[in-house]
A and B are shown apart, each in its own frame.
Chain A
Amino acid sequence: MKSNLEHSEAAAIFNKDVKRVDWHDETLWFVREKRDKAAHQIPEWELLRETASEIKNNVLSNMHDYLLEFESNAQKNGITIHWAADADEHNKIVHSIMEKHGVKQMVKSKSMLTEECHLNEYLSEKGIDVIDSDLGERIVQLRKEPPSHIVLPAIHLKKEDVSETFHEHLGTEKGNNDPQYLTEAARLHLRDTFLTRKVALTGVNFAIAETGEIVVCTNEGNADMGVHLADVHIACMGFEKIIPQRKHLSVFLRLLARSATGQPITTFSSHFKTPRDGKEMHIVIVDNGRTTQLGREDFRSSLKCIRCGACMNTCPVYRRSGGHSYHNAVAGPIGSILAPNLDMSKNADLPFASTLCGSCTNVCPVKIDIHNQLYKWRQVLVKEGHTPLGKTVAMKGMATVLANPMVFDFAGKAGRFVMKNMPVLVNNSLNPWYKQREMPAPPEESFREWYKKNAKESKDKKDE
């Protein structure tokens, strides 16, 4: 990961460049609006969400059976199935397939799972050269950055940044920011990669238990081109990608792209069912903490996620803090409820990087109650001791004051007295509120003081 800064620190740095934050916010808001237009054109949109949610609930409750059904059907189709308990095992399995074939190069289409497992770093240490073929992923890969968004990996970059990166790595003209020119350069560069790589790795959007096939959704066709030109296809999936039957795709494919980018459907929805003659197809099914999450009653439904990224696009915090501030492969609201499951201590800040506004829950195509889970993670993290001592002390003090009316009354009066007579004690640089905001003007009396004097009078009036 890029940094070990807490979300709030990284976000504060991101916010130093106001114009860039505005641009980032507006770009993602544009995607959110496209999503709204697409969703609002479908009269049965809310029913589709509910249906998708129920299908996924069924999957979560019958995961064991569906996985075995999928394995058995995939094997009948000639696919080799591997099971990986964690990221390390996943990486070893992928590497062992490469070794078996004596191949040192891989072309990879987008897979957030391999980001989660840090596969690129692992393979690179083993001397294997991986080229990401999704354009956005290729851009961030050249810059040695992680993706900042699960659907739009390079959304934090402007075309000027891309031009500079391509100039440095692909030899394009310096200062040529024309998107078409830059895309053509990437296309030429990737075309060569597609023609020469023997092993292609893809992610999986949906794995169908009934048929043992997988479906990969892309806009660039890069998954297909990689797979069709390679001898070996490795597909990596978290086990929650299972859906029961092929007919259920009709629900998910209608939701996925509309939620993600506002498109009716991705340009390519590619079904991979069986290896071609003389070729190999492997599927690596990964747990990496998912069983633990499935066992957490409050958080299991986070595994319904189909990785559309809608919660990121709508999140007012994400739009203004950028994906890297979440220091996790999956950023934004959904990342903030997935990450603590992987490492509570490292990701304790993420559930707090939210105002709990609830917009994420409303856009989620599979109806994950993301904001409720953010709230619940906060409770868990505090109980498990992952909050700063100072905060705990302050909260305990606050709880005592607020539970005792007399103390509350006194504290209120004292507070207002200080604000009125010694404002410097409040209006100073140690008060984060005051840095960019004025404090409210303390009134002469509280409401309860007013009420004591005036309420009886009004009651008397009423009695007349």
Chain B
Amino acid sequence: MKIGLFIPCYVDQFYPKVAIATYELLQKLGCDVRFPMKQTCCGQPMANSGYEHLTKGCDTNFIANFAEFDFIVCPSGSCVLHVKEHLHDENNEALASQMRKRVFELTEFITDILKIEMIPGNFPYKVGMHQSCHGQRGLKLSQMTELNAPFFSKPEQLLSRIDGINLVSLSRKDECCGFGGTFCVTEEAISVKMGQDRIKDHEAHQVEYITGGDMSCLMHLEGILKRQKSPIKIIHIAEILNATI
């Protein structure tokens, strides 16, 4: 089983530690994982801004880099959702369509494909889990509070089995943080207010760490936390899972 490691462009550039954690974690879980060196971006920033027609170059590059793998795994629900919904190839749509089905977010890959129910470890901190919308509502990694349906959460299932972790229950369990791609600058006032409000919920539960499956949301929250000189730290779920084994 050959696994292609798909790292979001901004994670590659700004949060290499998250990519390293993902890479190491997958190796520890016994995966044959490789990072295709010429990957760039899935094209989501353009597409969500209304410029989906400009993403053909990104699609071509993505396909060239990842076509050979059995699975494509990425530590971001948002980028995975974009590929799942929008990856196309005018010359080989059958291949693009296959690849859309082979791309997985990290935690769902662990729980659904590797069928691993728990990763042993120790993380003795009070942690708030930020449910990123695209992972949750798009990929259905966790049940959504709007629906009348039984609870489940793939990332929380993994986190909750780690020794010492105190996973808090937030007042608003799945409210958006306000990052929203270019929304974070075009609607700066609302974006920041949404982020501040999310942080208040975590603060009210006295968390030491905010974790999540999408570094974009966490980057936005981290930017606000740092400006507020808050002691709360940001950590990607891959870092917790990797540090503990």
| A and B interact | yes
Determine whether A272 belongs to the interface, using a CB cutoff of 8 Å to chain B.
no
Tell me the residues in window 204-231 of chain B with beta carbons closer than 8 Å to chain A beta carbons: 219-220, 222-224, 226-227
Q: Which one of A25, A399, A400, A401 has the greatest number of beta carbons of chain B within 10 Å?
A: A399
Which residues does chain B contribute within 8 Å of A447, judged by CB atoms? 7, 11-12, 16, 19-20, 35
Partner of B227, one of A354, A438, A451: A438
Q: Is B104 an interface residue (CB 8 A)?
A: no
Give the chain A neighbours of B39 by CB distance below 8 A.
405
Known: A362-B146, A436-B188, A446-B16. A316 touches B176 (CB 8 A): yes
Query: Do A403 and B188 touch across chains, with their CB atoms under 8 A apart?
Result: no
A440 in contact with B192 given A29-B172, A358-B133, A395-B54 (CB within 8 Å): no
Contact B146 A353 (CB under 8 A): no
**Known A316-B178, A412-B12, A450-B16; contact A357-B133, beta-carbon cutoff 8 A:** yes
With A15-B190, A381-B50 as given contacts, are A40 and B12 in contact (CB-CB < 8 Å)?
no
Which of A5-13, A156-164, A300-308 sits within the interface? A5-13
- Determine chain B's interface SS by DSSP, over half rule: helix
Task: Assess the A320–B147 pair: CB atoms within 8 A.
Answer: no
Number of interface residues of A (CB under 8 A): 75
Q: Is the CB of B148 within 8 A of A45?
A: yes
| In the complex, per-residue mask of A399-423: 1 if CB is within 8 Å of any chain B CB, else 0 | 1111111001000100110000000
CA distance A416 to B50 in the complex (A): 27
Q: For window 38-83 of chain B, which residues contact chain A by CB distance below 8 Å?
A: 38-41, 43, 45-58, 60-61
| CB proximity to A under 8 Å, residues B166-181 | 172, 174-176, 178-181
A317 at the interface (CB under 8 A from B): yes
C-alpha spacing A395/B23, complex, angstroms: 31
For A315, give the chain B residue with the smallest CB separation.
B176
Instruction: State in angstroms the CA–CA spacing of A408 and B192 once bound together.
Output: 28
Tell me, yes or no, whether B193 is within 8 Å of chain A by CB: yes
CA distance A11 to B180 in the complex (A): 16
CB contact between A12 and one of B14, B19, B145, B188 (< 8 Å): that residue: B188
Asked if A398 is at the interface of the complex by the 8 Å CB criterion, the answer is yes
- State the CA gap A387–B19 with chains docked (Å): 35
Nearest A residue to B220 via CB reads A437
Asked if B232 CB lies within 8 Å of chain A CBs, one says no
A330 to chain B, nearest CB (A): 19
Q: How far is the CA of A11 from the CA of B194 in the complex (A)?
A: 12
The docked-state distance in angstroms from the alpha carbon of A110 to that of B45 is 41
> Is residue B187 within 8 Å, beta carbon to beta carbon, of the partner chain?
yes
Given the known interface contacts A8-B189, A15-B193, A446-B16, the answer about A438 and B226 at a Cβ–Cβ threshold of 8 Å is: yes
A40 touches B192 (CB 8 A): no
Considering the chains assembled together, what is the distance between the CA atoms of A395 and B60 in angstroms?
17
**Chain B residue at minimum C-beta to C-beta distance from A371:** B137
Please indicate the chain B residues that have their CB under 8 angstroms from the CB of A43 in the complex. 148
A320-358 interface with B by 8 A CB criterion? 320-321, 352-358
Closest to B217 in A: A355
Q: B187 to A399, Cβ gap below 8 A? A: no
Once the chains are docked, how many angstroms separate the CA of A46 from the CA of B146?
Answer: 10
Contact A36 B146, CB 8 Å, known A355-B183, A362-B137, A408-B40: yes
* Contact flag A320-B227 (CB < 8 Å), given A402-B40, A440-B15: no
- A15-B189, A382-B51 known; A40+B46 contact, CB < 8 A: no
Q: Do A403 and B12 touch (CB < 8 A)?
A: no
Q: Is the CB of A416 within 8 A of B13?
A: yes
CB distance B175 to A378 under 8 Å?
no
Taking a contact as CB atoms under 8 Å apart, the answer to whether A446 and B61 are in contact is: no
Contact (Cβ within 8 A) A11 B189: yes
Closest 7 CB pairs of A and B: A403-B57, A437-B223, A355-B180, A378-B50, A362-B146, A382-B50, A357-B176
Could you list 29 examples of A-B contacts with CB < 8 Å?
A15-B189, A355-B133, A355-B176, A355-B194, A356-B48, A356-B133, A357-B133, A357-B176, A358-B133, A382-B50, A392-B51, A395-B51, A395-B54, A399-B57, A402-B46, A404-B40, A432-B185, A435-B188, A436-B224, A437-B195, A437-B224, A438-B222, A438-B227, A440-B222, A440-B223, A443-B17, A447-B7, A447-B20, A449-B16
B interface list, Cβ under 8 A from A? 7, 9, 11-17, 19-20, 23-24, 27, 34-35, 37-41, 43, 45-58, 60-61, 133-134, 137-138, 144-149, 172, 174-176, 178-181, 183-195, 197, 219-220, 222-224, 226-227
